[in-house]
Structures are given as C-alpha cells and as structure tokens.
Structure 1
C-alpha cells in the first residue's frame, strides 16, 4: 500500500516545493509597494531562487538514491521553514536576495522524485510516470494565481506565512507515509560522476532540458511583472494569465511522457524545438497582447511536451546512474530559467525592447532542433554498428573494386584473419582453390545481373584449414544505380556436410 502511495505523495510534494519556490516572483508587485527595489535589480530578485534550486538538484538526486525520498523530502520541507519566515518579515532588497537564495530548495526537490519513482515501475511506463510527477510544476501556477488574490485581502507578508503551515503538514505526511523500504543505491558520488560525465547523451539531454524547462521557468518568473509593466495589466489579471501559461505547460508534461512511451522520443523533440523556434520569432516582433498570448502559449505547449519527453530519455539512457544524471539534467533546466530573465533585463536596458532576447531563444531552439536530428541519425548508425559487430555471421564489406573495407568480429573468428590483416586485401585471399575460375565468373555474372548471389563455396582459413561456407553477396548501389560496395555474409556449414 505504501509503495502505491509514492507517486501521488511525491507529486504533491513537488507541487508544494514549486509553490514555495515562486513566492517572491508571484508577489513581487505587492512587495515593491513596501520595499524599494531598483528597476535594474528586479530580474535578480526573481532569478535568484533559481540558483540554489538548480545547483542543489545534483546532491538531492544523489542522496535520494542513498537515503530514500522520504528523508530527503521531509528534510527539505523543514529547511524551507527558515527562508519562508525570513521573507515574510523582509524589509530590504538584500533580505529578499538572501531569503530567495535558500528558497531554491523548493525547486531542487524535483530531482528527488525523478530519481525515486522509476524504482517502482517498468521502463515502458517511465515516460508517463515521470510526466505525472512533473504535474508538480502546477505548484508554480497555484502560487502565481492564488497568492496575489490572497495578498489583496491579508497583505503579502501574512500570505507568505501561510506557507509555513503547508510545509509543516507535508513534512509530517512524508515522515508517516514515505516508503521506509525504498531500494537504496550506495555507489559513491565520485564514481557516479565518472561513469556519466563522458556520456555524450547526458550533455545532449542537459542542453535540451536547459531550453525546455528553462523556457518554462523563465516565463513563469518573468511574465507577472512583464505583463504589468509592458501591457499595463492589473496585477491579478497578470497572475491569472501566468497561471494559465503554467497550467498548459504542466498538464502537457505527462502527455509528452506518454507519447514518448508510444512513439519515437527524438522525433517528438524535433517538433518541440521547431515549435519553440517559431514562437520565439513571433515574440521577437513585439506583437499585440493577442499575438503575444499565442506565442507564449506555444512556448508553454512545447516546453511542457519537451519536459516530459526528456525525462523519458534520462532513465532510458542512464539507468544505472539515474540519481546523479537526473540531478545534472534537472540542474541545467533550472539554470535555463536563471539566465534568460537576466539577459532579457540587460537587453531591455540597452535597447529598450525585448526582441533580441526572444530572437536568441528562437536561434538556440533551432540549434537544438539540428542537434536532435544529428543525435537521431547518430543512434541509427550506432545501432547499425552494434548489429554489424554482434551478429554471429561473418561479414565483409568491399568497395566497388573488390578491396575489403570492413569486417566484423565473427569474420575474424571464422577465418582467423584479424581486421588489421585483412583490410585492404581482396577476398581472393580466402580462396581454397577447389572452385574453378568458371565458378567465380558465373557468380559475378549473376551478381551484376541480379544484384545478389547465394551459394556454397569452399574457402581457406588463415591456418590453412579448408571449410565449407554458405555465402551471400549483395551489391549496394547509390541513387544513380552505380555499385558503390559489395557486402558478403557467410557462415560455416562444414559440420552439416560432415554430419550428412
């Protein structure tokens, strides 16, 4: 029963963590009425919680494997009590910076669930499971929508204090309902880092998540104040619109994970990054509120789907080092939410507009689109290479003139010739001399006419031993019909002849 509770419990944990994470950005229009914050420092106030929320994801993901999600979630909520109370009594810009930095613990808990939950489900369901857990992102929407409404009634300081009660409740729930017997992994963190840092897929996924989750976080913290200052919307209206953005991205996340379980994840990512590319172009032209809404919702859709797809791929590619890998990838996503608001603020201070920043998002997304295409075809080549090297049949590949370009390990095992010895040679070095020249002339006549030949042939190993093989030769042609190589596959059938 406890095991079945982990997905809903940890999803609720993430909702609470993310609710706390964005307190400052959601209430900033109210806080500014009491605390003087220079305009050029607004972006820093909203971005600073993302710093610790990103960096802490690595150790929290690692220790979730060592200690279990129950302990990490409980400890995180207890620690969050201190910065939340500190912010509720803040009276200066520096108070917000200090409190906001440690508020990042709320965002860091993301890596706990994505490390813990895959232990309870088979691989074919991980996309959907991590997607459901990712619904916890809705916590940012809940705070963005509800906090301004509550603050208009009781003030922003008292509104922040209400979160102390929520944190205490969930710390208790995790202590009593968390899984005490969760499977633990005790591999030292240094060994895990050594095992993954050379894995190019880890860094590709980190880049992709930097864009998708970074876009989600950046717009979450940037929209409330931007909509008020740029489009002169009411604070509550800006909060509702931002909550809508968050809701769309959040509820599409499990759909992205589910689709990744059913379809090719990399194909789906191509669509995600092309969508982000087009949305960035739309926003770059400083559109009206209507077109701006379309562009923002497109980003919400693509970011949500992309987040779900990527966390289907992380446990698929890096299952044995899931804790540290989840921490690194999710950290990069968090940092993706830290830098864009600062860049937008800097660009706006220099140019007086945000167009260059949105165009940069478009270009980075397009570069990611190209990288996904490269990764897709790289995987296809890797698969072909794996099949080539693992098959039990001997394989040799020659160019159009008959010079050997490649052989597989089974070829070496069957003939005794190493790859270094045979590359550049002609397959005639294998001839036993039992077939007459007319046999070979007829064989090549058939290949030229039909494109392939199959039959039995006597060949000789490097040791001089003769053996009978079943040989198939296929001509490989280019788009113009010209033969560019020949591929021969064979197996030793001597035992069949001797048995007969």
Structure 2
C-alpha cells in the first residue's frame, strides 16, 4: 500500500474533515486554481471580439480557444514532475510568475495576428497547468477518507471560468479586448501574494525520484483508465467552457455579453458540483458516481445536438456540466486511493489527459461548424466517447473493488 503524507500531528480529530488537514493551504490552493482557471479560458469569452478584429474562420476560432487547453495538458506533466521534485508551493509560485509576466507582455505589446493568439494560448497553458500543482498541494495534507472532499474543494477553483465568462465580455466592450489581458494581472498579483503567505507544503512528502520512476505509473493499466475517464469528464467541462461563448453567438446570435452570462450559468453548475461529486464518491464509491456521470453526460450532449431553442440548449448544457463537474470530483476520489505515493505525477498525467480531451472538443466543434455548418457532429461524437468510457468502467470496476478493497473505510 502506498505511504501517506499526513501525520497524527496534523489532525486534531481523525474523523473530522476540517481538522484533518491544513485549512490555509486548502484555501490557497483554491484561490490559485480559481484565478489560474479564470485566465486559462480567457480567450473563450473574448473569442467573438477577437475573431471579428482578426477576421478568423470558425476553425481558427476553435483552434484559438483550444490551444490553451493543449498547452496546459502538456505542461501539467511538467508541473507534476516539478511538484515531486521541488514541492507544490514553489512550483506554484514559478507558474504564477510566468502567467502574470506573459499576460502583461501581451497587453503591453498587443496581439494583432492569429499567430499571436496562439502564442498567447501557450502562455495561458501555464495557468491551466496549475491543476497539477494546486491539487497535490491540498491533497497531501488529507487522509484517504477525506480525499474526495479535499480534492473537490481545491478543484472547485475551476469556478474561475465563471469569472472569465461574466466579466471579460463586459470589460472588453468598455476598454477593448486587449486591455482585458492587462486588467487580469491585477487579481492574479493579489492572489500570488496571498498564496505565498498561506500555502505550506505538507510534511512527509515523497523523496525525489528519477525521471523513469516518475513515469512508472504509466506501466499500470489503472493509470490509463483514470486518464481516459478524466479526458471525458474534465475534457468535456473545459472544452465547453472555452467553446460556449462561440456557440451561443454563432448558433443563436447572442451578443458577447449575453453569451457570457449563458456560459457562466453552465460553468457555474459544473464548478459547484465538483466537491459534491467528490463527497458523493467518498460516500457511495467513485465507480457508482462515474456510472451516472457518463450516462447523464452522454444523454445531455446528444440532446444539445438537436436543441432548436436557446432555452433547450441552455438547460441541456447545465445538465451536462452538472454531470461532468461531478465526474471530475469522482475521478479524483479514485486517483489518490490507487496512486497515493505518486499523487504529484499522477495529478499531472490525469490532468494532461483532461486537457487533451478539452482540446479535442473545442477544436472539433470549430471544425464541425466550418465543414458541416453545424456544431451538432462535434457534440454527438463526444457523447459517444462518454459511452465508450462507461463501457471501460464496467470492465474494470470489479478488479478495482477487489484490489483496492484493503483501504479501510474507502468505497471504490
């Protein structure tokens, strides 16, 4: 069984969640994750304005909002390795400095070409890679029976996507979309200061490993299954968060501000239920939770492909985001049960898979729109991927319950 990262000294009440870890670090992880996610998807709410200014095609718009997710996916592996080497707090500080410096430079110099938006997307990928830092920063403080709640609360920082959807379009209308890049540096800098004051690395972190040892979890089929499941749950969440402003403006002719409000409602639903999904998985098991997630998510996305009104589409997107958000929490109930000693690198690997799923969904929706004149094929294919994930879950659930059953008090 993998070694734990907490000690009896860190817990006043072994069975009490709030007393079982380090609350300032949990809050710091949430704030860092929240603001990082806000800027990670920033190009989504700004996409309609940027596309008009730079005369982008639907495929270019899709690629523009998808690049940050792909860059974030790759960099999550780097950050996962860095977390296990120098610790999550210092890794997070480095990443935040890179993002703030990149956004400030983009604002000062201006972004005037499609290539420039792609370069900016790579910089924003560092914000998306915060996932591989914020989650182990919080997770290492908490025992197995509270992993779902701890990872869910820290991971609820994906609610930052709500902030981007709510405020970016209005600020762009007032000051221009390029100015939004500079304005974003203000809250990022404030959170950086709070992070440096509150965050603390957990005791008994694993000793540094060789590069080959870092990637050893990939020898396990369980790692690939968890990566695949997260590619659907988180990939669906972040892919929709980045693409919905484009969808609502193109499909129903909404203004950028109206599209931002609709997107915010959908994203808020998915963010809100992430800790609930983790808590539900703690209570009934990650497998049961994910089963419902994949069924409900597939049905909702298939329904979106046929939605003829804004009300129907919005309702179905909310249902889809509720399912996918709960699924994100459920997957990260399972990850630390199976890979507690490799939580840093596994968070990076699983997070990478989620980013790749988001890149696929966002870019495929743009291509579907350009090639067929409709977003429907993109939604239908992703609904099919959810059903494939469900079939895979049915294949592994028996083995997982037998092999992980030795973890006392934890439902798989």
Fold-level similarity (TM above 0.5): yes
- Contact 2:58/2:370, CA 8 A, preserved across alignment: no
Structure 2 residue 107 is matched with structure 1 residue 76: no
Match of 1:160 in 2: 181
The ranges of structure 1 where at least 4 consecutive aligned residues each deviate by more than 6 angstroms after the TM superposition are none
CA distance in 1, matches of 2:201, 2:343: 20
* Counterpart residue number, 2:190: 169
Alignment of 1:68-467 (within 5 A): 68-88=87-107, 89-179=110-200, 182-380=203-401
Distance 1:61 1:108 in 2: 9
How many residues get paired? 385
CA distance in 2, matches of 1:337, 1:280: 14
- Structure 2 counterpart of 1:412: none
State the alpha-carbon separation in 2 of the partners of residues 379 and 173 from structure 1: 40
Higher relative contact order (CA 8 A, sep 6+): 2
Shift of 1:180: 5.9
Q: Write 1 or 2 for the structure with the bigger share of strand.
A: 1
The answer for unaligned runs of 5 or more in structure 1 is 387-500
3-state secondary structure, aligned to 1:31: helix
Once the two structures are superposed, residues 403-437 of structure 1 have per-residue CA deviations (whole angstroms, 9 ceiling, x without a partner) of: xxxxxxxxxxxxxxxxxxxxxxxxxxxxxxxxxxx
Distance 1:149 1:377 in 2: 50
In 1, the alpha carbon distance for the partners of 2:392 and 2:91 equals 35
Structure with greater Cα Rg? 1
Partners of 1:380 and 1:30 lie apart in 2 by 50
Pick closer, same or farther for the CA change 1:380–1:163 going to 2, 3 Å: closer
Is the 8 Å Cα contact of residues 273 and 326 (structure 2) preserved in structure 1?
Answer: yes
| Offset of residue 269 of structure 1 | 0.8
- The change in CA–CA distance for 1:182 and 1:176 in structure 2 (over 3 A counts) is farther
How far is the alpha carbon of 1:178 from its aligned partner? 2.6
Q: 1:61 aligns with which of 59, 69, 80?
A: 80
Is the CA contact (8 Å cut-off) linking 2:237 and 2:358 kept in structure 1? Answer: yes
* Cα deviation 1:231-260 (Å, max 9, x = unaligned): 001211100010111100001000000011
CA RMSD of aligned residues (A): 2.0
User: Larger % of helix: which?
Assistant: 2
Deviations 1:249-308 (Å, cap 9, x if unpaired)?
001000000011111210111111011121122122243222212221111011010000
1:256 and 1:306 in contact (8 A); partners too = yes
Over residues 435-492 of structure 1, what are the superposed CA-to-partner deviations in whole Å (9 max), with x where a residue is unaligned? xxxxxxxxxxxxxxxxxxxxxxxxxxxxxxxxxxxxxxxxxxxxxxxxxxxxxxxxxx
Deviation at 1:356, TM superposition (A): 2.1
Q: In the superposition, relative to structure 1, how do residues 383 and 249 fare at CA in structure 2: closer, same or farther (>3 Å)?
A: closer
Cα-to-partner distance string for 1:103-162 (whole Å, 9 max, x where unaligned) = 110110111122222221111000001000111001111011111122222222222211
8 A contact 2:29–2:135 mirrored in 1 = no
Task: After superposing the two structures, state which structure 1 stretch, 346-355 or 265-274, moved more.
Answer: 346-355
1:352 deviation in Å?
Answer: 2.0
Does the CA-based 8 Å contact 2:206-2:341 persist in structure 1?
no
Counterparts of 2:391 and 2:181 in 1: how far apart (Å)? 44
Q: TM-score, normalised by structure 2?
A: 0.88
Post-superposition offset of 1:177:
2.8
Once the two structures are overlaid, the 10-residue window that deviates more, 371-380 or 119-128, is 371-380
Seen in structure 2, the aligned counterparts of structure 1 residues 33 and 383 have a Cα distance that, compared at 3 Å, is: closer
**How far off is 1:343 after superposition?**
1.6
Q: CA deviation at 1:81?
A: 2.2
Q: Does the 8 Å contact 2:85/2:209 carry over to 1?
A: no
| CA distance in 2: counterparts of 1:22 and 1:382, whole angstroms | 38
How do 1:13-92 and structure 2 match up within 5 A? 13-88=32-107, 89-92=110-113
Q: How many Å apart are 1:181 and its aligned residue?
A: 6.5
Contact 1:86 1:99 in 2 (8 A): no
Which segment drifts farther, 366-375 or 217-226? 366-375
List alignment gaps of at least 5 residues for structure 2.
1-9, 11-20, 407-412
SS of structure 1 residue aligned to 2:54: coil
Mapped to 2, the partners of 1:362 and 1:25 lie a distance apart of: 22
CA shift for structure 1 position 62 = 2.3
Does the Cα contact within 8 Å between 2:25 and 2:138 map onto a contact in 1? Answer: yes
Q: What is the rounded CA distance, in whole Å, between the counterparts of 1:238 and 1:312 in structure 2?
A: 33
